[in-house]
Structure 1
Amino acid sequence: MKARYQYRFYPTDQQQQSLARLFGCVRVVWNDALAFCKQSVSEAFASTRSTKLPGYKKLSAMLTQAKKTDERKWLSDVSSVPLQQSLRYLDVAYKNFFNSLKGKRKGKKVGVPRFKKKTNSQSAEFTKAGFSIKDGVIYIAKIGTIKPIWSRELPSEPSSATVIKDCANRYFVSFVVEVEPNITIAKNQSIGIDLGVKTFAVMSNGEKSLSPDYSRHDRKIRKLQKKLARQQKDSKRRNKNRLRIAKHHNQIADTRKDFLHKLSTKVVSENQTIVLEDLNVSGMVKNPKLARVISLQGWREFRLLCEAKSEKFSRDFRVINRWEPTSQTCSCCGFRWGKIDLSIRLILCLSCNTEQERDENASRNIEMVGMGHRHDLKRTGSDCKTVSAASYCELSRITDVERR
């Protein structure tokens, strides 16, 4: 399986100028090719009602001809490898877009490719012909030698290297390498995880993982964004303020990424089967009171990390249906008490007289459903003959609000 290893490096002033020239050329090649594709698609659709795109070969020939003109002759000052890679990625982006429209591509709908901006994150990819690694030093064609901070060793020889500059003017080099699955024996057979806001993860074995506090940086971002909206566009003070906002965003993203990586590694390495719930995050963020807090958590990113690391550690990763009543059912006896308010954290089940903590009960139900173990709800509901089902739903909401 393939993995990506990323390292930070600090270029010299001359290398920063060379990288800025490289990123600009990659951006211009992408935008010129995208404009040509949009024009070709519109003309083809107007004449023949078809959406035939110019392929990579035609775009590459256009790039060769553009270098011979006076307007684009400066494209020859940088390496041709990232320029060709930019055209390949544009071709793949259009194929994914049309396959998504036709239903041939699984997953979320893919949007149409968009033009690149100078203020966004910049990147340039080099294949094996454009870079080399020797004695901890990386040589990049027409850029020079850079020495990244090797926080960990590369497991194998990389097949490509990508130079990245983020919105806060930080530089990274990223490698794609081939890694072997790590087969280890897990301590536990299975685990169910219920994701939340304040307590990020409540596990079926009783462990809890609190979410990092992003409030300080989030308040500063909101304050700086109000100031940014009042400043003149393309002014020096506005650009300076934009960099300050980007740095706060990066601090939040780095904190979240570090937390999610550590938690996912711990969960996957200790358990053979990991069970999560398919959350409707897009529907949850429509709540104006919880949208900003939910967006900061990174539930989807945690699921992707667990899924990827499960493949690496030869684990079984499962996701249950979002409509499973995991927070409405007693994990001990299987009695279903129905929907309850989010402010209620403790529930007393009148069927088995067990006091359940809301999130712990949900995590145990997630584990049981994921492992294929379900309670017989019809049998459990028929055990009580003196009270109707409607009364049971009301009585099962007895909680201790003070002990929340």
Structure 2
Amino acid sequence: MMTPSEAGEAGRARYTHRLRVSSTAGVALLAEWDRCRWIWNECVAKSKATHLHNKTTLGKRTCGPAQLDRMLTEARERTPWLREGASVPQQQVIRDFGRSRAKAHKDIRERLPQRQRAGMPKWKKKREALPTLNYTRRGFRLRDDRLHLAGGIVLTVVWSRDLPAEPSSVRVYQDSVGHWYCSFGATRSRSIQVGMARGEEEFGLSP
């Protein structure tokens, strides 16, 4: 299923398919999500601490991509639990948080009405936030109708249509009733057929 509403730059769209997830893969996905949710909440904590520091002292601190990348690197070095997970989705959490925070600051600078502002990123609570994992091209590959994610997670894709081009990203997420889906980001203008080709297209995978 193509979702034009999620289309980004011109010529790009997301293509969503159901996933068949084994019990082992399901446990692994939820473990990855626990790590990513923890990292997001660490970003929120750092953002709040930076804001408080800048309000109460003369010295100004920043909470940009460089600071958040360093925070993730240090957290992985000292926390074996984080190192057990793939680095790609964790890095994407940093990128997503940075974009969300930057949008909130932009809305404030432009003095948008309160109801139109995106708002600062908030805590993701375990019982409220649905699992969502984002992978760039180096974090997944397609082979034999299956989606192989960094970290050794293998999922079966229920292909409803071919992809129009090599996907550059994939989002794996769970809905409120427990079903899993994958959403591929791909360029619509190309005619390369993948997915149903059953392994003819394979993409690089990083640990």
Q: TM-score, normalised by structure 1?
A: 0.42
- Of 140, 143, 147, 1:134 maps to 143
Is the contact between residue 159 and residue 177 of structure 1 (CA under 8 Å) also seen in structure 2?
yes
Q: Which residue of 2 aligns with 1:159?
A: 168
- Of 53, 57, 78, 1:43 maps to 53
The reply on whether 1:110 has 2:126 as its aligned counterpart is no
Q: 1: distance between equivalents of 2:35 and 2:112?
A: 31
Structure index of larger Rg? 1
Whose relative contact order is higher, 1 or 2, with alpha carbons under 8 Å and at least 6 apart? 2
- Of 35, 39, 57, 1:29 maps to 39
- Write out per-residue CA displacement over residues 315-335 of structure 1, whole angstroms, 9 at most, x where no aligned residue: xxxxxxxxxxxxxxxxxxxxx
Q: Which residue of 2 aligns with 1:65?
A: 74
Q: What amino acid maps onto 1:97 in structure 2?
A: A
- Write out per-residue CA displacement over residues 335-360 of structure 1, whole angstroms, 9 at most, x where no aligned residue: xxxxxxxxxxxxxxxxxxxxxxxxxx
- Of 132, 141, 144, 1:123 maps to 132
Identify if the C-alpha distance between structure 1 residues 6 and 105 changes in structure 2 by more than 3 Å, giving closer, same or farther.
farther
Q: 2: distance between equivalents of 1:83 and 1:47?
A: 31
Q: 1: distance between equivalents of 2:104 and 2:62?
A: 12
Offset of residue 104 of structure 1: 7.7
Offset of residue 105 of structure 1: 7.8
Q: What percent identity do the matched residue pairs reach? A: 26
Q: What amino acid maps onto 1:176 in structure 2?
A: G
- Of 71, 75, 81, 1:74 maps to 81
Is the contact between residue 28 and residue 153 of structure 2 (CA under 8 Å) also seen in structure 1?
no
5+ residue gaps, structure 1:
182-404
Q: SS where residue 21 of structure 2 aligns?
A: coil
Q: 1: distance between equivalents of 2:56 and 2:85?
A: 38
Offset of residue 167 of structure 1: 2.1
Offset of residue 145 of structure 1: 2.1
Is the contact between residue 99 and residue 105 of structure 1 (CA under 8 Å) also seen in structure 2?
no
Q: TM-score, normalised by structure 2?
A: 0.79
Q: 2: distance between equivalents of 1:53 and 1:152?
A: 45
Q: SS where residue 117 of structure 1 aligns?
A: coil
Aligned length: 178
More helix by share: 1
Q: 1: distance between equivalents of 2:96 and 2:112?
A: 17
Q: Which residue of 1 aligns with 2:97?
A: 90
Q: 2: distance between equivalents of 1:143 and 1:19?
A: 10
Q: 1: distance between equivalents of 2:77 and 2:33?
A: 20
Q: What amino acid maps onto 2:36 in structure 1?
A: V
Identify if the C-alpha distance between structure 1 residues 145 and 100 changes in structure 2 by more than 3 Å, giving closer, same or farther.
same
Q: 1: distance between equivalents of 2:102 and 2:111?
A: 10
Q: What amino acid maps onto 2:37 in structure 1?
A: R
Q: 1: distance between equivalents of 2:112 and 2:158?
A: 38
Is the contact between residue 29 and residue 153 of structure 2 (CA under 8 Å) also seen in structure 1?
no
1:336-375 mapped onto 2 (5 Å cutoff): none
Is the contact between residue 30 and residue 131 of structure 2 (CA under 8 Å) also seen in structure 1?
no
